[in-house]
């Protein structure tokens, strides 16, 4: 029971990160390998805000996504937009390169052991649930990220804005003809996806160290989650994120030695059985 | 190659009677620092070890003595296969004479074998497993700074004595964690304690909550952390979150470095007890070294691994100077024969099994109110004299030791 809850908490991080990736891939057709670095940047913005400006956790929840989202928008405007007509591979290589550069710079400046970041006082402590001790902060993570995930899903799948976004990816020329500024919409979407990563970074800062490598450690797992869920599927990435967190949590209990590999084993199996992922639309030719 | 050929020719012609001629291969002593430079052990060893080796070469005065010393370094990424192929390249092609540091016991054990085959020298500072001077001991390896037996003996004993007699281990799942768990368990059981359970986590784990839950369920008084670097800091941080200490359990960080304490902050790390063989604020010489070191390594103060790299490199150069040769096997034999003396570890000796012997110290992490500022973190609880700090030579099953 306790392990189930722990799994859900870790799943919340996977879900938020894979959601951002799914949004970016689904709407921009870019495989954003810089996602881990942007997650790390989010945590660092929170750290800097506290160190330099004395702004606490709550401000960071707002500031970090905006700051890192802007960084993403600059990236998209100056570099990524040149790659849309090329193969996926180019976008992947570019973002991967950016990730390596950003991580390298931060590692050089701040070392590899990470920097301390405390839990906000309103959320410290915890509840004794009888079967386990649940830290308040972890409960907050799960509620908050679930809310963010569902809101994102709702906006993209159920609102007018979302439908024009989806339409723009299917047929940009036609949507443009209806008077919608497609390039601007794509830029903002990328910024939003990146902001989601930064938000996850702020959520993670009090749990893990604020560490230049935190994204690199996580991004591969998150990609596996996206592949299992089906590239580009919004709901798929949310559900698989939480589900795989739970699977990993149970592995840590029953056979901890395999806890790093279990997700990749599942990925291999899913790819063999359903190459387009559990929630992927196999008819979509890309 | 040509120079080497001439040197051999000269040596061969100069028959007996004459003392050994200059036999430093290709005229350069090449030191290779091999460690983790990019991941969870990069702050406690990493570039800092390169700085320490460089300082040793400078303090030795190689230039003035007309000895040409070069330092190369590489990142083994904590992978034994990567470490092995770098080492082979270094020894076979790049004419590296001695490899130093090598944290990560898995990599160190692999190199131990390779260096022995090639008759070169290996000076271990970063790796912990006591097997390096036990059943895997080699005439080409010296284990310098600390080992799992010393950690278990220092920290384990101290904790059992103060009432921590039931243990649960969180162990990094590779050679180092296994050795540290084994040695600590032996100490705990010998002192009348009991091990209630253990869980092995993969190296470089981010989230420990699941393991901490298992540790809490075990009701053990002590949760022993048989891991290092980022794994230890994450475990300690999350243990605080899950109310481990408030729930009446205590953490035992079996291998904690000053860089880990710095990363955690004193409010999280206070009260931890750990065994180390060096602390930068121990005496004037150590402080002077730390000051110079910090200026060159992003203000990071030296860990015992850095100090060990310095001390080992210095002693190596002295032995090469005395021997006038950089033949690996001979230099290691000479190093064992000569007493050691350096500003950081003082006087010491190296045993036949390759174990460098010096005192170990039991430190406690200060409360935030006791600390005067960054890096002022430890207070000394007790000193373990050199002859008790390491595993007795006859108990290690080292084939080099005559029974």
* DSSP string for B16-65: TTSPPP-B-GGGEEEEEEEE-SSSTTTTTSHHHHHHHHHHHHHHHTTTTT
Determine the residue among A106, A113, A200 to mutate to test chain B binding: the one whose Cβ has the most chain B Cβ atoms within 10 Å: A113
- Does residue A56 belong to any structural domain of this protein? yes
Q: Which of B141, B136, B103, B137 is nearest to B120 (CA)?
A: B141
- Does residue A34 belong to any structural domain of this protein? yes
- Does residue A270 belong to any structural domain of this protein? no
Question: A208 and B210: CB-CB below 8 Å?
Answer: no
Q: Is the pLDDT of residue B117 over 90?
A: yes
**Contact assessment for residue B176 and residue B40, using Cβ atoms and an 8 Å cutoff:** no
B98 strand-pairing partners:
B31, B121
Give the nearest chain B residue to A261 (CA atoms).
B202
- Does residue A126 belong to any structural domain of this protein? yes
Looking at chain B, the whole-number percentage of residues with pLDDT higher than 90 is: 72
Burial call A23-62: b when 16+ CB within 10 Å, e when fewer: bbbbbbbbbbbbbbbbbbbbbbbbbbbbeeeebebeebbe
**Contact assessment for residue A231 and residue A5, using Cβ atoms and an 8 Å cutoff:** no
- Does residue A245 belong to any structural domain of this protein? no
Please name the member of B173, B243, B262 whose beta carbon is closest to the beta carbon of A133.
B243
Between CA A58 and CA B402 the distance in angstroms is 66
Mean pLDDT, to the nearest integer, of B17-26? 51
Please name the member of A7, A107, A118 whose beta carbon is closest to the beta carbon of B38.
A107
Residue B43 distance to chain A (closest CA, Å)? 6
**Contact assessment for residue B151 and residue B129, using Cβ atoms and an 8 Å cutoff:** no
Question: A113 and B39: CB-CB below 8 Å?
Answer: no
CA separation (Å) from A87 to A26, A84, A224, A285, B64?
Answer: 15, 8, 21, 14, 59
Max alpha carbon distance in chain A (Å)? Answer: 60
Cβ neighbours for A164, distance < 8 A, ≥ 6 positions apart:
A175, A180, A185
ipTM over 0.90: no
Q: Which two tokens stand for residue B196?
A: 């209630």
- Does residue A88 belong to any structural domain of this protein? yes
Pick one of 3.30.565.10, 3.40.50.300, 3.40.50.620, 3.40.50.2300 as the CATH number of B2-9+19-146+283-358.
3.40.50.2300
For residue A109, which residues of chain B lie inside 8 Å, CB to CB?
298
Q: pLDDT for A95-149, tens place per residue?
A: 999 999 999 899 888 887 788 888 888 888 888 877 778 889 989 999 999 999 9
Whether residue A235 lies within 8 A of chain B, CB to CB, comes out as: no
What is the count of structural domains for chain A? 1
pLDDT bracket for residue B17 (50, 70, 90):
very low
B273-276, strands of its sheet edge to edge: B273-276, B360-365, B378-384
Assess if CATH 3.40.50.2300 describes domain B154-276+360-389. Answer: yes
Query: Residue ranges of the alpha helices (H) in A112-170?
Result: 136-158, 160-170
Query: For residue A177, what is the enclosing H or E element?
Result: helix A172-177
- Does residue A208 belong to any structural domain of this protein? yes
Q: Where in chain B is the domain with CATH 3.40.50.2300?
A: 2-9+19-146+283-358, 154-276+360-389
For residue A262, which residues of chain B lie inside 8 Å, CB to CB?
none
Q: Note down the domain range covering A156.
A: 17-214
Please name the member of B46, B241, B267 whose beta carbon is closest to the beta carbon of A137.
B241
Name which of A23-32, B63-72, B278-287 the model is least confident about: A23-32
* pLDDT score of A49: 92
Q: Over the Cα atoms of chain A, what is R_g?
A: 19
Question: B42 and A115: CB-CB below 8 Å?
Answer: no
Between CA B349 and CA B153 the distance in angstroms is 20
Question: B213 and A2: CB-CB below 8 Å?
Answer: yes
Position of tokens 């994120």? Answer: A241
Between CA B216 and CA B213 the distance in angstroms is 5
């Amino acid at each position: 029971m306790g392990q189930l809850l722990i799994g859900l908490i870790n799943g919340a991080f996977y879900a938020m990160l894979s959601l951002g990736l799914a949004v970016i891939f689904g709407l921009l057709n870019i495989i954003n390998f810089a996602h881990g670095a942007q997650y790390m940047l989010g945590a660092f913005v929170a750290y800097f805000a506290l160190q330099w400006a004395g702004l606490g956790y709550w401000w960071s929840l707002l500031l970090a996504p905006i700051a890192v989202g802007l960084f993403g928008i600059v990236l998209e405007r100056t570099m990524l937009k040149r790659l849309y007509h090329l193969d996926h591979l180019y976008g992947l290589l570019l973002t991967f390169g950016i990730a390596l550069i950003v991580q390298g710079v931060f590692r050089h400046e701040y070392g590899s052991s990470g920097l301390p970041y405390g839990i906000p006082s309103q959320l410290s402590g915890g509840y004794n649930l009888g079967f386990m001790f649940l830290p308040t902060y972890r409960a907050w993570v799960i509620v908050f990220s679930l809310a963010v995930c569902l809101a994102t899903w709702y906006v993209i799948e159920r609102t007018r804005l979302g439908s024009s976004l989806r339409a723009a990816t299917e047929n940009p020329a036609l949507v443009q003809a209806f008077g919608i500024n497609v390039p601007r919409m794509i830029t903002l979407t990328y910024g939003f996806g990146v902001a989601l990563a930064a938000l996850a970074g702020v959520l993670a800062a009090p749990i893990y160290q604020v560490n230049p490598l935190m994204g690199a450690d996580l991004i591969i797992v998150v990609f596996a989650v996206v592949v299992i869920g089906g590239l580009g599927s919004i709901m798929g990435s949310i559900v698989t994120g939480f589900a795989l967190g739970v699977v990993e949590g149970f592995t840590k209990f029953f056979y901890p030695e395999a806890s790093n590999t279990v997700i990749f084993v599942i990925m291999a199996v899913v790819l063999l059985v359903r190459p387009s992922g559990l929630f992927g639309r196999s008819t979509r030719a890309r | 190659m040509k120079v080497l050929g001439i040197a051999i020719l000269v040596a061969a012609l100069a028959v007996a009677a004459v003392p050994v001629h200059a036999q430093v291969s290709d005229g350069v002593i090449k030191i290779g620092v091999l460690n983790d430079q990019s991941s969870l052990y990069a702050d406690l060893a990493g570039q800092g070890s390169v700085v320490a080796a460089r300082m040793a070469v400078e303090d030795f005065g190689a230039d003035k003595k007309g000895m040409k010393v070069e330092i190369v370094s590489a990142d083994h990424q904590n992978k034994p296969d990567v470490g092995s192929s770098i080492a082979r390249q270094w020894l076979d092609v790049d004419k590296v004479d001695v490899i130093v540091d090598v944290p990560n016991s898995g990599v160190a054990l692999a190199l131990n074998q390779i260096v022995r085959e090639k008759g070169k020298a290996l000076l271990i500072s970063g790796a912990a497993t006591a097997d390096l001077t036990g059943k895997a001991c080699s005439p080409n390896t010296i284990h310098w700074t600390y080992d799992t037996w010393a950690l278990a003996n220092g920290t384990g004993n101290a904790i059992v004595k103060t009432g921590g007699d039931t243990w649960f281990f969180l162990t990094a799942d590779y050679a180092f964690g296994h050795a540290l768990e084994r040695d600590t368990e032996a100490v705990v059981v010998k002192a009348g304690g009991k091990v209630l359970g253990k869980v092995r986590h993969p190296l470089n784990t981010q989230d420990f909550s699941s393991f901490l839950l298992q540790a809490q369920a075990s009701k053990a008084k002590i949760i022993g952390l048989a891991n290092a670097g980022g794994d230890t800091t994450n475990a300690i941080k999350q243990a605080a979150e899950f109310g481990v200490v408030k729930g009446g359990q205590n953490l035992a960080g079996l291998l904690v470095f000053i860089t880990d304490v710095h990363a955690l902050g004193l409010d999280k790390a206070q009260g931890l007890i750990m065994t180390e063989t060096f602390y930068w604020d121990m005496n004037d010489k150590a402080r002077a070294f730390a000051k110079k070191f910090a200026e060159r390594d992003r203000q990071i103060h030296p860990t015992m691994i850095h100090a060990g790299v310095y001390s080992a490199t210095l002693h190596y150069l002295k032995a090469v100077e005395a021997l006038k040769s950089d033949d690996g096997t001979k230099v290691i034999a000479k190093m064992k024969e000569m007493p050691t003396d350096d500003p950081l570890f003082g006087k010491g000796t190296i045993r036949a099994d390759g174990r460098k012997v010096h005192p170990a110290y039991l430190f406690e992490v200060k409360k935030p109110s006791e600390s005067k500022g960054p890096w002022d973190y430890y207070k000394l609880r007790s000193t373990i004299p050199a002859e008790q700090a390491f595993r007795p030579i006859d108990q290690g099953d080292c084939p080099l030791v005559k029974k």
